[in-house]
Amino acid sequence: MGAAESADFQLNTNIYSDIKIELDKQKQWYVPGETVSGTLFIGQQYLQKGSVSIDLIGELGYTMNYSTDTNSVRTAYHRFAFFTVSKSSITNGEKFNFRLDDNLPPSVNVDKDTYPYIRYAVQVNLSRVNKHRHWIIVCPRVIIPQTNIHPVYFDAFNRKQMRLTGSISVEWILPGERFQLEYKIYNQNQELIKHMDGNISMRAKIRGIEYNEKVMDFVIDDIQETRDDQITGMIPLMFPLRYFPPTFKYKDAKNTLNVHVEYWVTIEVHVHGMNTSLRAAVPLMIGFEPENITFDNLMSPDQHRFSTISMHTKRHSRKHRFHRFSHS
């Protein structure tokens, strides 16, 4: 199943007020292998123009830059349907059923305005260029047993003989769950530490093209303009309770589509001077279960799902035990 790769990205996929797709499932999240079913309602003006077809598609979108003869850079937008099931004609009020393949990659970057992405939609083909899309999330349920969860450690140095060590309390969490970051700064020469912050980011590689998205930032407010020779602390963090694709690796049978999704927690101690910051990054595996995640407004073409969240935290001087928090 699939379609040829295309650089045609000017298809009109506006939402028509007289076209409505009602899916049978209340939460429009689906697991590979599941059936997507619903009813299509079409205005008479489209039915009078001829046969209307409907598809369930999984689409990869990406960009490539080309140099022109005038030494300028041109960006080409490509769309590649790696999964398609179709119904050649459908009437007003007719039911449809489409089965997803058992092995499909998760939806990645569901923002409708940016590339690269992996997105799924029920698509009504009104004409060659006019298409109505109803977006859905396709993602496997990914949960790792709690007995497999261990802390992850980091250790970093800079040229001023400073050292940053510590750990995150878990290697794997679900969106909405809490974890802890413990750190220790060794500053034997009492260099000026300006501040300390960090972030969680998602890194996706889709067909060799990288996509980076900031999940959230955090700032440790207590560490500002200090020359302390040793600083120890712990901060609580929570991964946002929204849809994010899980840590995932996918390769299709023909090796034409490779997807790798991973998450990293980055901690940075900003030190006075050039190229002196202490920086450490550790992987954090993200699972996925849909029960507590809201998919409202996913179908809006201007909806931005991956917004940045800022978090300010206070450090705690006491040590903590490594454990998982339950949902807040």
* pLDDT given at position 50: 66
Average pLDDT (260-281) is 94
Give CA separation, 238 vs 50, 67, 192, 296, 309, in Å. 52, 43, 30, 21, 11
Whether pLDDT at 85 is above 50: yes
Average pLDDT, the chain: 82
Q: Return the CATH number at 105.
A: 2.60.40.640
Given pLDDT bands bounded at 50, 70 and 90, which one contains residue 148? low
Given pLDDT bands bounded at 50, 70 and 90, which one contains residue 28? confident
Q: Given 97, 119, 138, which residue is the final one in a domain? A: 138
* pLDDT given at position 230: 96
* pLDDT given at position 17: 59
Residue 51 forms part of a structural domain: yes
* pLDDT given at position 15: 46
Residue 90 forms part of a structural domain: yes
Claim to verify: residue 151 and residue 285 sit in the same structural domain: yes
Claim to verify: residue 114 and residue 163 sit in the same structural domain: no
Q: Got the DSSP string for 98-134?
A: EEPPSS-PPPB---TT-SSEEEEEEEEESSSSBEEEE
* pLDDT given at position 303: 30
Given pLDDT bands bounded at 50, 70 and 90, which one contains residue 131? confident
Residue with tokens 């959230």: 216
* pLDDT given at position 80: 86
Claim to verify: residue 222 and residue 296 sit in the same structural domain: yes
Claim to verify: residue 126 and residue 245 sit in the same structural domain: no
Given pLDDT bands bounded at 50, 70 and 90, which one contains residue 83? very high
Whether pLDDT at 156 is above 90: yes
Claim to verify: residue 108 and residue 219 sit in the same structural domain: no
Residue 153 forms part of a structural domain: yes
CA distance 119 to 58: 6
Average pLDDT (10-17) is 49
Whether pLDDT at 23 is above 90: yes
Whether pLDDT at 75 is above 50: yes
Whether pLDDT at 300 is above 50: no
Higher-pLDDT residue of 149, 326: 149
* pLDDT given at position 318: 35
CB of 168 closer than 8 Å to CB of 152:
yes
* pLDDT given at position 5: 47
Residue 196 forms part of a structural domain: yes
Claim to verify: residue 117 and residue 161 sit in the same structural domain: no
Residue 216 forms part of a structural domain: yes
Compute φ and ψ for 274, nearest 5 degrees: -85, 135
Average pLDDT (145-155) is 85
> Which tens digits make up the pLDDT trace of 88-127?
988 889 999 999 999 999 999 887 678 889 999 999 988 8
Domain of residue 199 covers 146-313
Claim to verify: residue 158 and residue 84 sit in the same structural domain: no
Rg (CA), the chain: 24
Higher-pLDDT residue of 326, 179: 179
**Overall domain count for the chain:** 2
Whether pLDDT at 188 is above 80: yes
Average pLDDT (246-272) is 92
Closest Cα partner for 54 from 115, 148, 131? 131
Residue 44 forms part of a structural domain: yes
Among 125-129, 213-217, 242-246, whose mean pLDDT is lowest? 125-129
CA distance 305 to 240: 11
Given pLDDT bands bounded at 50, 70 and 90, which one contains residue 295? low
Whether pLDDT at 36 is above 90: yes
Higher-pLDDT residue of 302, 278: 278
Whether pLDDT at 2 is above 50: no
> Which tens digits make up the pLDDT trace of 311-327?
555 554 433 332 333 33
Instruction: Return the structure tokens found at 226.
Output: 């200090």
* pLDDT given at position 128: 79
Claim to verify: residue 127 and residue 273 sit in the same structural domain: no
Residue 8 forms part of a structural domain: no
Claim to verify: residue 126 and residue 151 sit in the same structural domain: no
Q: Given 105, 138, 171, which residue is the final one in a domain? A: 138
3-state secondary structure of 77: strand
Claim to verify: residue 167 and residue 207 sit in the same structural domain: yes
Q: Given 100, 120, 138, which residue is the final one in a domain? A: 138
* pLDDT given at position 312: 53
Strand partners of residue 178? 238
Claim to verify: residue 192 and residue 287 sit in the same structural domain: yes
The CA-based dihedral angle spanning residues 125, 126, 129, 132, taken in that order and rounded to the nearest 10 degrees: -60
Residue 46 forms part of a structural domain: yes
Claim to verify: residue 86 and residue 151 sit in the same structural domain: no
